[in-house]
């Protein structure tokens, strides 16, 4: 790859054409990059959960005043010339010390909560991770997993070999032998087993190493990938990814392979995460913002709750993927919590939306108000709790937002600071259930003190 220009954009901001656009604000990018990005955006439709075709970036305006506005999706895109585009969450946030943290740090914190990303053995809390685009961080995580496999030695297994040989070994496949060797009495069509490292799991890992080596924009990662590929001498490249994944075995004898193969599924099959490419695009890895916020909220609630006092049921929500149709979904919650002491049942759902006191109903969507009644009925609960990210504006405006009818309060809106998620959620849960909820850090400290 050639030049390494890098452009960052936050949700709700936009790209414009550098030197030609009269539009104020936004992030200016060269005309050729704008054209390639616009072409990729139009080519890759992303059906949202309600079945409406949307785009990674929405196009507005005409001629030289065209813009591409971010909203609903975050991630990274790298062109074949090395130019990088990053789209980051709309919010910065504050940590427990009251310090501002960057949008990139917010993004990385959310990614750590996603169960489908095998990031358990890779530290995202580093300067290197914050400086790299997210896909390059995933490559380093995969390199980390494969390096461990190489250190411990590639696993071998017996693999069947069926060949027409000049020697007799194993057993003769008589049906093939009779037809193949009718005029060749010096050959035997036989089947026998060999103990080899050329097994499906190793083929998939080697194929992933080659794929990443060809598209990475990091010279350091490319060198590491080359070094790892050299350790797979004797392993063929996979000729059929799906067949080799189906034949893969993850038992006790394959310790250490699990995360590497999960990364291979993500990279080779775009499983769990949208990884795609285009005519001028080396790769793009895209996440629906709402999915990240939902995952982060559910993960944080799960880490905090004391199962002796609460029962929690996490619901499986579905999200858009590039060029893949989605069925229409009815209202669906993120989680349902029940207090074991009094049976109080509350439905939780998180909403990745920037509310404003200047908008009608604070900007809360009418569909979310309708869904509140569906959620109450569907889950037979006493109340619905909508969780929104805390913005700078709403940090100043601490009004209570409730949904009421003649019987009382049906639901409430709460705000959480995504830079200090567990502490924010503990305050929310204490307000709902009237019980002190300590985050996991406090619980661990208390357990250590009592021990």
Instruction: Quick: pLDDT tens for 64-74.
Output: 999 999 988 89
Q: What CATH number is associated with residue 401?
A: 3.40.1350
Element (H, E) at 370: helix 366-379
Residue 302, number of CB atoms within 10 A of its CB: 14
- Please tell me the distance from the alpha carbon of residue 208 to that of residue 378, in angstroms, as a whole number: 44
For residue 159 the two structure tokens come to 């693999």
What is the predicted pLDDT for the residue at 53?
46
Based on the domain organization, do 163 and 151 belong to the same domain?
no
Which pLDDT band, with edges at 50, 70 and 90, does 99 fall under?
A: confident
What is the predicted pLDDT for the residue at 147?
95
Hey, which residues does 47 pair with through a beta bridge?
53
Picking from 236, 212, 235, the residue whose alpha carbon sits closest to that of residue 224 is 212
Average model confidence (pLDDT) across the chain: 83
Asked if 228 and 150 count as a contact pair (C-beta separation under 8 A), the reply is: yes
Would you say residue 91 lies in a domain? no
Based on the domain organization, do 188 and 233 belong to the same domain?
no
Percentage, residues of the chain above pLDDT 90? 32
Based on the domain organization, do 365 and 321 belong to the same domain?
yes
Q: Is the pLDDT of residue 50 over 80?
A: no
Domains in the chain, number: 3
Give the model confidence (pLDDT) of 233-281 as tens digits: 989 999 999 999 999 988 888 889 999 999 999 999 988 787 888 888 9
Picking from 203, 424, 173, the residue whose alpha carbon sits closest to that of residue 296 is 424
Would you say residue 82 lies in a domain? no
* Lowest pLDDT segment from 75-89, 212-226, 408-422: 408-422
Based on the domain organization, do 222 and 360 belong to the same domain?
no
Based on the domain organization, do 293 and 334 belong to the same domain?
yes
User: What CA–CA distances, in Å, run from 396 to 390, 393, 399, 433?
Assistant: 10, 6, 9, 25
Based on the domain organization, do 429 and 371 belong to the same domain?
yes
Based on the domain organization, do 264 and 395 belong to the same domain?
no
Tell me the chain's radius of gyration from C-alpha atoms.
Answer: 27
Q: Is 323 left (phi over 0), alpha (psi -120 to 50) or beta?
A: left
- Structural domain that includes position 436: 288-444
Based on the domain organization, do 295 and 429 belong to the same domain?
yes
| Helices assigned H by DSSP within 236-347 | 241-247, 258-269, 289-304
Based on the domain organization, do 245 and 344 belong to the same domain?
no
Would you say residue 354 lies in a domain? yes
Would you say residue 298 lies in a domain? yes
What is the predicted pLDDT for the residue at 88?
92
* Lowest pLDDT segment from 21-30, 39-48, 191-200: 39-48
For residue 155 the two structure tokens come to 């696993």
Would you say residue 57 lies in a domain? no
Would you say residue 26 lies in a domain? no
- Please tell me the distance from the alpha carbon of residue 143 to that of residue 121, in angstroms, as a whole number: 11
Asked if 276 and 44 count as a contact pair (C-beta separation under 8 A), the reply is: yes
Q: Is the pLDDT of residue 2 over 50?
A: no
Of 214, 242, 272, the residue at which a domain comes to its end is 272
Of 225, 244, 272, the residue at which a domain comes to its end is 272
Would you say residue 331 lies in a domain? yes
- Please tell me the distance from the alpha carbon of residue 145 to that of residue 111, in angstroms, as a whole number: 18
Based on the domain organization, do 297 and 438 belong to the same domain?
yes
Would you say residue 267 lies in a domain? yes
Based on the domain organization, do 268 and 299 belong to the same domain?
no
Based on the domain organization, do 372 and 430 belong to the same domain?
yes
Give the model confidence (pLDDT) of 24-41 as tens digits: 999 999 999 999 999 998
Of 196, 222, 254, the residue at which a domain comes to its end is 196
Which pLDDT band, with edges at 50, 70 and 90, does 398 fall under?
A: low
């Amino acid at each position: 790859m050639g030049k390494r220009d890098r452009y960052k954009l936050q949700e709700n901001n936009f790209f414009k054409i550098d030197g030609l656009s009269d539009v104020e604000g936004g992030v200016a990018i060269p005309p050729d990059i704008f054209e390639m990005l616009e072409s990729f955006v139009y080519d890759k439709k992303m059906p949202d959960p309600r079945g409406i075709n949307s785009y990674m970036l929405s196009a507005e305006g005409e001629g030289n005043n065209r813009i591409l506005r971010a909203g609903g999706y975050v991630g990274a895109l790298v062109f074949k010339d090395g130019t990088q585009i990053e789209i980051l969450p709309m919010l910065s946030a504050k940590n427990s010390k009251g310090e501002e943290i960057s949008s990139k740090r917010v993004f990385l914190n959310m990614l750590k909560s996603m169960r489908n990303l095998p990031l358990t053995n890779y530290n995202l809390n580093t300067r290197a991770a914050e400086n790299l685009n997210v896909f390059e961080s995933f490559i380093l995580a995969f390199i980390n997993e494969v390096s461990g496999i190489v250190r411990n030695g590639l696993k071998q297994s017996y693999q069947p070999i069926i060949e027409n040989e000049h020697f007799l070994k194993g057993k003769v496949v008589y049906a093939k032998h009779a037809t193949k060797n009718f005029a060749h009495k010096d050959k035997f069509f036989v089947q026998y087993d060999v103990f080899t490292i050329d097994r499906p799991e190793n083929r998939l890992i080697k194929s992933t190493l080659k794929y990443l080596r060809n598209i990475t924009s990091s010279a350091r990662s490319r060198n590491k990938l080359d070094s790892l590929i050299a350790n797979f001498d004797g392993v063929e490249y996979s000729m059929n990814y799906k067949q080799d994944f189906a034949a893969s075995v993850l038992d006790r004898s394959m310790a250490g392979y699990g995360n590497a193969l999960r990364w291979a599924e993500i990279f080779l099959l775009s499983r769990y995460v949208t990884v795609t490419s285009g005519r001028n695009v080396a790769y793009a890895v895209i996440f629906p913002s709402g999915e990240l916020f939902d995952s982060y909220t559910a993960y944080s609630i799960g880490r905090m709750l004391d199962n002796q006092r609460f029962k929690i049921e996490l619901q499986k929500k579905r999200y858009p993927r590039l060029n893949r149709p989605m069925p229409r979904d009815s209202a669906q919650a993120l989680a349902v919590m029940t207090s074991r002491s009094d049976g109080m049942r509350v439905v939780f759902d998180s909403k990745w939306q920037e509310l404003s006191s200047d908008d009608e109903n604070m900007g809360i969507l009418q569909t979310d108000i309708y869904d509140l009644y569906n959620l109450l009925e569907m889950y037979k609960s006493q109340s619905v709790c909508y969780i929104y990210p805390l913005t700078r504006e709403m940090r100043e405006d601490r009004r209570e937002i409730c949904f009421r009818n003649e019987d009382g309060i049906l639901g409430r809106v709460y705000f959480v600071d995504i830079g200090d998620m567990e502490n924010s959620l503990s305050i929310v849960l204490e307000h709902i259930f009237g019980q002190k909820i300590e985050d996991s850090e406090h619980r661990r400290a208390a357990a250590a003190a009592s021990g």
